[in-house]
Amino acid sequence: MNDAKAALGRKLVAIKKQRGWSWNDIAARLGHAPTWTCAAILGQMSMTPETAEKTAALFGLDEAEAALLQEIPYRGSLPTAVPTDPLIYRFYELVMVYGTTWKELIQEEFGDGIMSAIDFDMTLERQPDQKGDRVKIAMSGKFLSYRRY
């Protein structure tokens, strides 16, 4: 990952915490979804000049930092092949356990192809439960068929 983008992301998260903002607050001010906004702030998406300008104004950034927000990132922010953070590791575990199931079910429904991570939406919400609140994540990606020559 670009060290400068990563450092800027850490700076913006610190400002976010200092000001008591939520990702929903920031997303509403920038006019984007919270998931995309968080990914962009963390350096995994590139911003348009307009969004970078709004972000710079919101966070008090200089021109160089606003320009950095517009750079195309080197995507993939994990430092190791197998994540060591327990929360992130659980997603890795989900892929290891259910990956072949997801592949089989998606390909049965759609055919030979993949789900896009580019034309993609994701929402996250809390679901109250008497046994402990649950995390609900909904992902929606465009299906892309493999071409046959």
Q: Which residues are known to be catalytic?
A: 90, 93, 116
Among residues 41, 37, 34, the alpha carbon closest in space to that of 69 is found at 41
d(CA 64, CA 87): 33
- For residue 134, CA distances in Å to 57, 125, 127, 146 come to 35, 8, 5, 36
Among residues 116, 112, 90, 94, the alpha carbon closest in space to that of 103 is found at 112
Pairing of strands 113-127, 134-145: antiparallel
Among residues 57, 67, 44, the alpha carbon closest in space to that of 15 is found at 57
Other CB atoms within a 10 A radius of the CB of residue 56 amount to 19
